[in-house]
Amino acid sequence: MAELGIGAGAPPTEVHAGDCYAAGKRRRVIDRDQARALLSDGIRTCTHCRPDTNLGVLG
């Protein structure tokens, strides 16, 4: 899932695994390809659930 910034139409600020306990209340469900695209665009990955590791996106 993607955690969103504050305000209407705010861009994603962090990528989380679907079951992450650390995700905030402003979130949007995304698929694996969208998560990979966000991570490759430089969006932060959650340090608790590490979706980058699960998706095979490292570095």
Q: What is the pLDDT of residues 13-43, one digit of tens each?
A: 999 998 999 998 999 999 999 999 999 999 9
Q: N- to C-terminal Cα distance for the chain? A: 20
Does pTM surpass 0.75? yes
- Residue-level pLDDT at 59: 58
Taking residue 29's Cβ as centre, other Cβ atoms within 10 Å add up to: 8
Q: What is the largest CA-CA distance in the chain?
A: 31
9 vs 13, more confident: 13
Which residues, 6+ apart, have CB-to-CB distance to 9 below 8 Å? none
Residue 38 near residue 51 (C-beta atoms within 8 A): no
